[in-house]
């Protein structure tokens, strides 16, 4: 109350009402060590109702984490460690960023998947180094969000018995009571139907009933557990109780006084914590003991299984084992004329999989189409901690679960995969991965209208730009098979999340004997083909990404026929290129060359950054259409002729190349697959 | 089979398996008139499993719609009327675009809401002009998507008894069987928990059982209905049956032959439809009779209720009644110094609400925060067809439901509202509204980091650009109260969907006695403040949107103190400005003036389009932070001083304005609200 009142901003009602619940979890169940929030085998706690952040901050402070009373007084202020919503990267003891409803709920599901996988990989008979639970407090809003239902279904399907979720049934929403929008649904029955173990506690103030239900939930190993706890928002504030006003606004000085009086506290005292409360709440010695036992077990395990232990160290650093760079495949254009970058991606993943033994992931019921399976990795299931996860047609649940694996630790680059168009379905999860700066990999295939017949509902056009707009997200769209190897290398080495955009259709393998090596892709953009005719400075620059690099290369040849010396720049990643030093950037795109044409099969918005006022962009500023991919590209103007003519126009040349001087750069597609 | 085989692309299995189901719905239940797909009171049919489009095309063809056998032979080809997935704007009888899973399911929920609202508004005792059902065929994928669960919960909450949904329980997914990802969930129990009436049919070939179940579903008025029908994908193809291969790839000539032989058809005949089949399937005369009865009822109603009838005509044209333009409020800066544009938006909506009597909508449990309620409009509930809908914390379900209201017809501009950050949760629905070009209004408030304390999980930075990237979507971010009036006018008059981005915080009401009138906003961008000092041509141009226009105006004054004549361009909408003639565009942004600085509290990606290589952008190229809004703006550099100094730097001036010469343009915010 005091912190929210001091900030005159925040959500006081839920932290007040759920104090008994958080107390019970943090002091009677949660196996954690306030002195080491990074202890690998700790239980995870998630406040999915992130707006109640002060509840978590208060418990972290009282149980002995490095979070001071001054931090609490600094609630919601610039550069404080107690922001409006819990942020993974800011506060010790905060496991994941929450606030966007449903995200914490779904992230916990991924944490439990990571726990099962790591237990399967590292535990040995008599040596248990990975065995913990995931506790989560969630709200009406969490349960209403579709992502939570997707994640709950994934959890039920995979029998994630280590989930101990408590649902705060306070019957209040921002707009009033749940009678408006959430009272005809039987939540208990829904979760039962999803394969969960469901219990009820009638009064959050009944500590014994609470403890009994949570214990049973923890001990239930076959099914994830949901405990539905009735609470009264803002209790014991006499006037704010059970009001939606108490959800998102400070109570006001008078009501704070009244609440303190109701609790028998001195209303004139603020941020007052009696010493006996600190003593009663302190979990440091308990945590020291818990981690101590584990450390002893761990040391024995280390000495008995040194290779496993070495692998473990890399896993918890999030790094692949040495040698992965050399293992990445190289394609020779003389042997492989064309290959879809999604197929190249499959070859790359299976080449490095042994070097990233704790990298797991899967697709939203499209694994055959996105080509993202680890061969021989086995399926993740209730009986088997395999590397390949069948998320079902649940893109959003997949995204949040992958975030959970990444924040759990011990996992090298968990990944989620679907068609690029469906990145829209999981965008909040992708954004959270960027905000947290976690090592997730998003593999989005079928990355342009060239996917063909499935039509505009399946053809991304705005998605390159929409993803590039997300801060801290690296987007890489490789031009061919060898750039795909480099793209995966950049991904394995990146600090934060990476989105790989791969083609459905075959694209030419660039002849590296004629053109620059694919390693240039590691710098985001590079001169792939120098201007022909040996001009010191090119007359023009063609800059392209992904499958359109081949279009640019053909345009360059057409231009040579017109006596125009054009350079081709392959730009798989704006973010990586923008981070290079100015000298390198100027060497790729010399400021003096203003005749620049970008070629990309998407909305041109934004390419002005690289082509400027005097340049032009060949793109698709409309939705796609249902037809064979080659036809769609031609009809929408993604052709070498259009690119070449754009250059000629910018140079003020009268002549134009004609359609029959070139053929489209993109080959036909194999029979349609994928939903739909 | 023949059409998919001819295209060598598509999804044959489900159309084959569900033929008996579609036959039953189209010939025994659906009240439709193939000769007039626009009949207002027709039953709606949705193929949510849009990949099975050939099923719908076949039925439309056979029952007498304007869709020829040649159209079917043109399946999935350029400019055909039979695209890979059903498209609302292409094929007569297709009610809504489907394909992205879950969307058709959720769109139907909005159609039923429109039906209830229009029935409540226009039916009179003894005069029923609106009374129809919504039939939908959905798949495993639909039921797995979170958006479907959100929509199903909305439907149960609102007792939408006119929904007759059939779930194709074929136990096959793209990656294999549902055992992989969807067999531990009890779907029947889940929908029962969501308040639905659930039935089972064991065999889709059992026409009588099908008919009985669908009749019962149709007659159930208190609850939405789900009929779970067991089918076998690709039946009766002997080898393809029950295989996931049959989902998304043509069967192959041999299997097509085998299937035809199994059905006793001539395997050498393609696209063969016996006359007696046409006769048996033809619904034209039945449709003529059905619409005939309705037309008679409607004419009597028209004559008895002429005012209602006149309003009805406007409603079905999607146009507000005459006089709405004059009704829009005007603010005088001398009376109102500052006003949040969300608050101005509320005043505008309530000023025109009487002119758009069939405009309904609501928010995702944030109506108080987004200020989007129609005062006196009443709540939409099982008992009352009010204008204000409580969607709950279900942004995606809301978005798809609003699309359903828009495609239903009779509704003027249905709207959905939430915080701009949560537009990510409903992005697939926003994209569909743009693809279909339907008159939906998206009201997104709390549109920048200036919302303050809720922090980066709630502060949009990339969202302006991400929305502008969507083709056919008009994005409007008004600078003040009067531009908000103009923004709503543009919205009411737009052909397609519009996203309104409104501030949480107060922003100054621009003094129109000193600056240009707000009508300029109707052209997307306009010269708000001409350069001071009377220079024929400005030394520099400041271009800004929304709350940052006030920042630009202050920067202009600072520059005047430095002897720099700067023009301020207010650019609320890129899309509307880009659509103006070149002469107008050049008058706003003269090509000769290359010293241009954009000011917008979001990622700068894309502003290069208007400021070019020689310009600069004041933006936020990172995530926000939790602190009072004014502090966040200052710390992130959205200040008049930074904007002025950017201009001075571009002009090569040595001097700089200092921090104390101006104050930030954005005022503090009222106490935090909203989830969270």
Separation of alpha carbons A330 and B188, rounded Å: 51
Instruction: Give the distance from residue B36's alpha carbon to the nearest chain A alpha carbon, in angstroms.
Output: 26
Quick one: pLDDT at residue B664?
A: 36
Q: What is the mean pLDDT of residues A553-558?
A: 97
| Model confidence band, residue A660 (pLDDT cutoffs 50, 70, 90) | low
Q: Considering the domain boundaries, does residue B255 fall inside one?
A: no
pLDDT at A173: 84
* A207 vs A622: CA distance, rounded Å: 59
- pLDDT computed for residue B659 by the predictor: 63
Asked if A500 and A536 sit in the same domain, the reply is: no
In a domain, B638, yes or no: yes
Phi, psi of B15 (to 5 degrees): -55, -40
pTM: 0.96
Total domains in the fold of chain B: 3
A132 annotated to bind ligand = no
The CA-based diameter of chain B, rounded to the nearest angstrom, is 90
Q: Which residue of A has its CA nearest to B138?
A: A676
Say what the pLDDT of residue B656 is. 87
On the question of pLDDT at B62 being above 50, the answer is: yes
Structure tokens belonging to residue A270? 């603020």
Same domain, B488 and B613: no
Asked whether residue B170 carries a pLDDT value surpassing 70, the answer given is: yes
Cis omega (within 30 of 0) on the bond before A114?
no
Spell A505-515 as b/e; 16+ CB within 10 A means b: bbbbbbebeeb
Q: What is the pLDDT of residue A672?
A: 38
Kindly report the nearest CA distance between residue A463 and chain B, in angstroms.
Answer: 8
Q: What's residue A662's pLDDT?
A: 41
Whether A428 and A562 map to the same domain: the answer is: no
CA-closest candidate to residue B447, choices B378, B391, B377, B371: B371
* Residue A667, pLDDT score: 33
Would you give the DSSP letter of residue B26? I
Report yes or no: B450 and B633 within 8 Å, Cβ to Cβ.
yes
Could you report the per-residue pLDDT of B335-356, keeping only the tens digit for each? 999 999 999 999 999 999 999 9
Looking at residue B14, what DSSP letter applies? Answer: H
Flag whether pLDDT at A276 surpasses 90: yes
Angle at A354 between CA A348 and CA A358, to 5 degrees: 105
Q: Are residues A71 and A134 in the same domain?
A: yes
Q: Which CATH number do you get for residue A561? A: 3.40.50.920
Cα A158 to Cα B128: distance, rounded to the nearest angstrom? 51
Tell me: do B150 and B272 sit in the same domain. Answer: yes
Q: Residue A21 sits in a domain of what CATH number?
A: 3.40.50.970
Query: Which residues of A are less than 8 Å from B190 in CB distance?
Result: 190, 193-194
Phi, psi (degrees; rounded to nearest 5) at A609: -55, -35
> Known catalytic residues of B?
395
Q: Are residues A215 and A279 in the same domain?
A: yes
Is B518 inside a domain boundary?
no
Determine the Cα–Cα distance for residues B412 and B320; give it in Å rounded to an integer: 7
Which pLDDT value is given to residue B660? 53
Of all residues in chain A, the one with the smallest CA distance to B148 is A146
Q: Closest partner residue to B392 among A182, A625, A675, by Cβ?
A: A182
Rama region for B21: left / alpha / beta (φ>0; ψ in -120 to 50; rest): alpha
Report how many Cβ contacts below 8 Å link chain A to chain B.
416
Band of residue B671 on the pLDDT scale cut at 50, 70, 90: very low
Do A477 and A539 reside in the same domain of the chain? Answer: no
Conformation bin of residue A45: beta by default, left when phi > 0, alpha when psi is -120 to 50? beta
- Which position among A115, A395, A600, A630 bears the catalytic label? A395
Q: Give, rounded to a whole angstrom, the gap between the first and last alpha carbons of chain B.
A: 50
Quick one: pLDDT at residue B668?
A: 32
User: What are B620-650's pLDDT values in tens digits?
Assistant: 999 999 999 999 999 999 999 999 999 999 9
* B376-406 tens-digit pLDDT: 999 999 999 999 999 999 999 999 999 999 9
Nearest residue in B to A183, CA atom: B157
User: Is position A246 within any domain?
Assistant: no
Strands A225-230 and A197-201: parallel
Task: Please tell me what DSSP assigns to residue A623.
Answer: -
User: Nearest chain B Cα to A623, which residue?
Assistant: B471
Q: pLDDT tens across A403-432, in order? A: 999 999 999 999 999 999 999 999 999 999
Mutate to test the interface with B, among A175, A240, A248, A450 (most CBs of B within 10 A): A175
Statement to judge: residues B533 and B654 lie in one domain: yes
Cross-strand bridge partners of residue B568: B529, B542
Mean pLDDT, residues A366-385: 96
Same domain for B158 and B51: yes
pLDDT at B667 over 60: no
Position B97 in a domain: yes
| Closest among A403, A430, A509, A467 to A600, alpha carbons compared | A467
List CB contacts (< 8 A) between B379 and chain A.
Answer: 180
A159: pLDDT strictly greater than 60: yes
Tell me: do A490 and A427 sit in the same domain: yes
Chain B CB contacts of A590 below 8 Å = none
Kindly report the nearest CA distance between residue A608 and chain B, in angstroms: 5
Q: How confident is the model at residue B674, as a pLDDT?
A: 42
Q: Which tokens hold the place of A104?
A: 């914490």
Residues B330 and B435 grouped into a single domain = yes
Best A82, A145, A611 residue to mutate vs chain B (most B CBs within 10 Å): A145
Q: What is the pLDDT of residue A670?
A: 38
Q: What percent of chain A has pLDDT over 70?
A: 97
Reference A515, options A572, A568, A587; nearest CA is A568
Is residue B268 assigned to a domain?
yes
Is the pLDDT at B672 greater than 60? The verdict is no
Residue A535's pLDDT band, with cuts at 50, 70 and 90, is: low
Structure tokens of B66?
């304007």
**Which of B141, B393, B632 has the highest number of chain A CBs within 10 A, making it the mutation to test binding with A?**
B393
pLDDT in tens, B518-568: 999 999 999 999 987 665 789 999 999 999 999 999 999 999 999 999 999
Binding-site annotation: residue ranges of B for substrate = 11, 247, 342, 369, 446, 454, 458, 504
Q: Identify which of B11, B79, B432 has the shortest CB distance to residue A676.
A: B11
Residues of chain A contacting residue B390, judged by C-beta atoms under 8 Å apart: 175-176, 180-181
H or E element at residue A486: helix A481-493
Rounded CA gap, A419 and A455, in Å? 13
Domain of A588 in residue numbering reads as 525-673
Nearest residue on chain A to B190, alpha-carbon basis? A190
Residue A97 to residue B457, Cβ atoms within 8 A: yes
- Distance of alpha carbon B120 from its chain centroid, rounded? 24
**CA gap A487, A485 in Å, rounded:** 5
Of A7, A101, A391, the CB nearest to B453: A7
Determine the straight-line distance between the first and last CA of chain A, rounded to whole angstroms.
Answer: 50
Chain A residues near residue B674 by CB distance under 8 angstroms: 174, 248
**Could you report the per-residue pLDDT of B217-269, keeping only the tens digit for each?**
999 999 999 999 999 999 999 999 999 999 999 999 999 999 999 999 999 99
Q: Across all residues in chain B, what is the average pLDDT? A: 95
- Across the interface, whether the CB atoms of B84 and A391 are under 8 A apart is answered no
Return the pLDDT at B675.
Answer: 42
Q: Tell me A446's DSSP state.
A: S
Please indicate whether, in this complex, the C-beta atoms of A100 and B609 are within 8 angstroms of each other.
Answer: no
| Under 8 Å between Cβ of A118 and A409 | no
The DSSP annotation for A543-612 comes to: EE-TTHHHHHHHHHHHHHHTT--EEEEE-S-HHHHHTS-HHHHHHHS-TT---EEEE-SS--TTTHHHHT
pLDDT score, position A531: 84
Distance CA B455, CA A355 (A): 38
Residue A659's pLDDT band (boundaries 50, 70, 90)? low
pLDDT digits (tens, 9 = 90+) for A163-217: 999 999 999 888 888 888 999 999 999 999 999 999 999 999 999 999 999 999 9
Q: What distance in Å separates the CA atoms of residue B433 and residue A115, rounded to the nearest whole number?
A: 41
Is position B200 within any domain? yes
Pick from B159, B431, B471: CB nearest A622: B471
To the nearest whole angstrom, how far is the Cα of B523 from the nearest Cα of chain A? Answer: 20
A240 within some domain: no
Residue A464 and residue A545 in one domain: no
């Amino acid at each position: 109350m005091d912190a929210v009142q001091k900030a005159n901003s925040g959500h006081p009602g839920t932290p007040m009402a759920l104090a008994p619940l958080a107390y019970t979890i943090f002091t009677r169940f949660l196996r954690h060590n306030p002195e080491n929030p990074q202890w690998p085998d700790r239980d995870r706690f998630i406040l999915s109702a992130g707006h109640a952040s002060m509840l978590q901050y208060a418990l972290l402070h009282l149980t002995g984490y490095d979070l001071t009373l001054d931090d609490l007084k600094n609630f919601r202020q610039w550069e404080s460690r107690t922001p409006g919503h819990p942020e993974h990267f800011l506060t010790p003891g905060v496991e994941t960023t929450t606030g966007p409803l449903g995200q914490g709920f779904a992230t916990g599901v991924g944490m439990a998947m990571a726990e099962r996988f790591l237990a399967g990989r590292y535990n040995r008979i008599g040596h248990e180094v990975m065995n913990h639970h995931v506790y989560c407090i969630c709200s009406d809003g969490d349960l209403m969000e579709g992502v939570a239902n997707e994640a709950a279904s994934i959890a039920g399907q995979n029998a994630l018995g280590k989930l101990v979720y408590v649902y705060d049934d306070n019957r209040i929403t921002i707009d009033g009571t749940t009678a408006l929008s959430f009272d005809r649904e039987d939540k208990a029955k829904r979760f039962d139907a999803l394969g969960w173990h469901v219990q009820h506690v009638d009064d959050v103030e009944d500590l014994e009933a609470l403890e009994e239900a949570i214990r049973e939930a923890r001990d239930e190993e076959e099914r994830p557990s949901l405990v539905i706890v009735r609470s009264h928002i803002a209790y014991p504030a006499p006037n704010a109780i059970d009001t939606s006003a108490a959800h998102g606004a400070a109570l006001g000085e008078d009501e704070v006084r009244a609440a303190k009086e109701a609790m028998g506290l001195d209303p004139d005292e603020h941020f007052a914590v009696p010493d006996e409360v600190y003593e009663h709440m302190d979990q440091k010695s308990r945590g020291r003991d818990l981690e101590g036992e584990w450390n002893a077990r761990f040391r024995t395990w280390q000495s008995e299984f040194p290779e496993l232990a070495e692998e473990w160290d890399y896993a918890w650093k999030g790094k692949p084992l040495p040698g992965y760079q050399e293992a990445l495949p190289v394609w020779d254009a003389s042997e492989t004329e064309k290959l879809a970058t999604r197929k190249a991606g499959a070859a790359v993943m299976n080449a490095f999989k042994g070097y990233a033994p704790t990298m797991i992931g899967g697709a939203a019921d499209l694994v055959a189409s996105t080509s993202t399976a680890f061969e021989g990795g086995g399926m993740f299931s209730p009986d088997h901690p395999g590397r390949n996860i069948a998320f079902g047609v649940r893109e959003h649940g997949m995204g949040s679960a992958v975030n959970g694996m990444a924040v759990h630790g011990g996992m090298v680059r968990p990944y989620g995969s679907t068609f690029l168009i469906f990145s829209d379905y999981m965008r909040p999860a992708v954004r959270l991965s960027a905000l947290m700066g976690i090592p997730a990999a998003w593999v989005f295939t079928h990355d342009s209208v060239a996917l063909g017949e499935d039509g505009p509902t399946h053809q991304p056009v705005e998605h390159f730009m929409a993803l590039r707009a997300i801060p801290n997200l690296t987007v890489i769209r490789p031009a061919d098979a060898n750039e795909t190897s480099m793209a995966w290398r950049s991904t394995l080495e990146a600090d934060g999340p990476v989105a790989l955009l791969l083609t459905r259709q075959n694209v030419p393998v660039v002849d590296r004997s004629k053109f620059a090596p694919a390693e240039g892709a590691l710098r985001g953009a590079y001169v792939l083909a120098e201007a022909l005719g040996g001009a010191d400075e090119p007359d023009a620059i063609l800059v392209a990404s992904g499958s359109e690099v081949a279009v640019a290369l053909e345009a360059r040849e057409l231009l040579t026929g017109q006596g125009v010396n054009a350079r081709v720049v392959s730009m798989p990643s704006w973010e990586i290129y923008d981070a290079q030093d100015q000298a390198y950037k100027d060497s790729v795109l010399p400021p003096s060359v203003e005749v620049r044409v970008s070629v990309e099969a998407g909305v041109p918005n934004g390419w002005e950054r690289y082509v400027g006022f005097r340049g032009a962009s060949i793109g698709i500023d409309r939705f796609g259409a249902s037809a064979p991919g080659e036809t769609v590209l031609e009809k929408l103007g993604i052709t070498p002729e259009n690119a070449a003519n754009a250059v000629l126009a910018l140079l003020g040349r009268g002549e134009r190349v004609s359609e029959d001087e070139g053929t489209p750069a993109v080959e036909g597609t194999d029979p349609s697959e994928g939903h739909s």
